[in-house]
Structure 1
Amino acid sequence: MPTDEPAPAPGLRERKKDRTRQQLRACAAQLFAEQGFADTTVAEIAACANVSTRTFFRYFDSKEDLLLPDGIELFSAVEQALAQRPLEEPPLDAVYNALLAAAALFRSTSLTALTHPLDGTEQLIAARLIQVFAEFEERLTRLVLDRLPPETPDADLHAAVVAGAALGTVRAILRTQRGRRAAGTHRPAVLLPQAFEILRQIGHTAP
């Protein structure tokens, strides 16, 4: 029977979870700046965000994860953008355009940790970043494989090479950004088109 009551707002739970995640990140950034990374505890971050330590670990595996781009948001955005690319588009171009569409997330303040490491944690961050990229590389490989025509020779290898080349290029961008240490001048999103153009040139270089 029709009712005049408004329907519940769609995605309310998701929005609440997103607010909690962002609040934890904001508190961590504030505490890291005030106290330093090493002297800041998970309990302090949770208290600042008015949540329990148990709740903190529902969102992040460790405080080190707060130094990295939000993998859940970033990779989800890439996956969604890739799903919208035309199936006839060459796989590498499709992945590039998906990364470009999600490039706004590369501007996250959490990327500051990649260009200006805190308290000598650069090696730790780099190790965690390698793990995050490795996990996503497997997911991206499966997504590329799903886009390939069934008759593609060595389709699994083809997909793995495309995913590896694309994410290797992104890693190169982040290393370059960190090496230049020019905050705001060479954002990853700005370097992305240049880096993929270099990748394409390498692919067309005669032996």
Structure 2
Amino acid sequence: MTPTREPTPEPTLTERRRAATQIEIATAAARLFAERGPDGTTAEDIARSAGVALRTFYRYFRSKQDAVGPLLAAGGDAWRALLAEADPDAGLRTALEQAVFDALAEPGERTPDQLETTRGLLRAARDDAALRAVWYRVNQESEERLVPVLTRLAGADADPLEVQLTAAAATDSIRLALETWAGTGDAPSSGPRAPAELAVRCLRRLTAGIPLLDERPAAR
């Protein structure tokens, strides 16, 4: 039997306002980093661009590089949400590939802008160790949050090690796809060289030896 999910509590008004402020600051930081680079951007610049006081900036973030964390994390939140809604009976591999593809290529007005923002950040991170550290931290946290989602889809009897391996492979597939795309000139946001296609290719290669993904769903 597939474990049922506990309902997620609705965020309070204060939590929603806090999250909105963090995203506004993160968006301003990402834009400035892409335009000027981290060395050419100060916390004061980010706060001014976001329309908040410097003390507000430091209430939420320890450093200018740390400010982009919520924006980068939002991508992981979106794709885990897609996966969480998948039908367990469809099979884990199918669910994973579809969620990865849809998260990076699902039609919508915001998708190209989000990808371009990520491209600018990853290019800026190549020469800034602190910004790279934020990117790696966000990916690690996303991997950890992915495990319970995969456990629900795979079933309570799934091998925990294989679930962990799948979470690591899926997270790294998206990370590698975005990094490769960002480093390849002006590669388009759709098509064979786009993040969605690259991520699915990476996922298939990295999960080829994980039996969990090739097992047929158990009868329920």
Q: Same fold (TM over 0.5)?
A: yes
Q: Structure 1's 128 and 140: CA in aligned 2 closer, same or farther, altered over 3 A?
A: same
2 CA distance for matches of 1:165 and 1:33? 28
**Paired residue for 1:164, among 155, 168, 177?**
168
**Paired residue for 2:177, among 159, 173, 189?**
173
Q: Which deviations, in whole Å up to 9, do the C-alpha atoms of 1:2-21 show, x marking residues without a partner?
A: xxxxxxxxx97677556534
Aligned partner of 2:9 in structure 1 is none
Where has structure 1 moved over 6 Å in runs of 4 or more?
11-15
Aligned partner of 2:4 in structure 1 is none
Q: Between Structure 1 and Structure 2, how many residues are aligned?
A: 190
Aligned partner of 2:195 in structure 1 is 188
Q: Structure 1's 139 and 181: CA in aligned 2 closer, same or farther, altered over 3 A?
A: same
Q: Structure 1's 190 and 17: CA in aligned 2 closer, same or farther, altered over 3 A?
A: farther
Aligned partner of 1:40 in structure 2 is 41
Alignment of 1:21-170 (within 5 A): 21-29=22-30, 31-32=32-33, 36-57=37-58, 59-66=60-67, 70-103=71-104, 107-114=115-122, 116-117=123-124, 120-121=127-128, 123-152=129-158, 155-170=159-174
Q: Structure 1's 113 and 95: CA in aligned 2 closer, same or farther, altered over 3 A?
A: same
1:159 Cα deviation (Å)? 0.8
TM-score normalised by the chain length of structure 1: 0.71
Identity of aligned residues (%): 29
1 CA distance for matches of 2:185 and 2:149? 33
1:139 Cα deviation (Å)? 1.2
- Identify unmatched segments of 5+ residues in structure 2: 1-11, 106-110, 212-220
Higher RCO structure (Cα 8 Å, ≥6 apart): 2
3-state DSSP class of the match of 1:117?
Answer: helix
Q: Structure 1's 144 and 132: CA in aligned 2 closer, same or farther, altered over 3 A?
A: same
Q: Structure 1's 168 and 29: CA in aligned 2 closer, same or farther, altered over 3 A?
A: closer
Q: Which deviations, in whole Å up to 9, do the C-alpha atoms of 1:11-64 show, x marking residues without a partner?
A: 976775565345424433554466542242212311232212343245545321
The one-letter code matched in structure 2 to 1:96 is: E
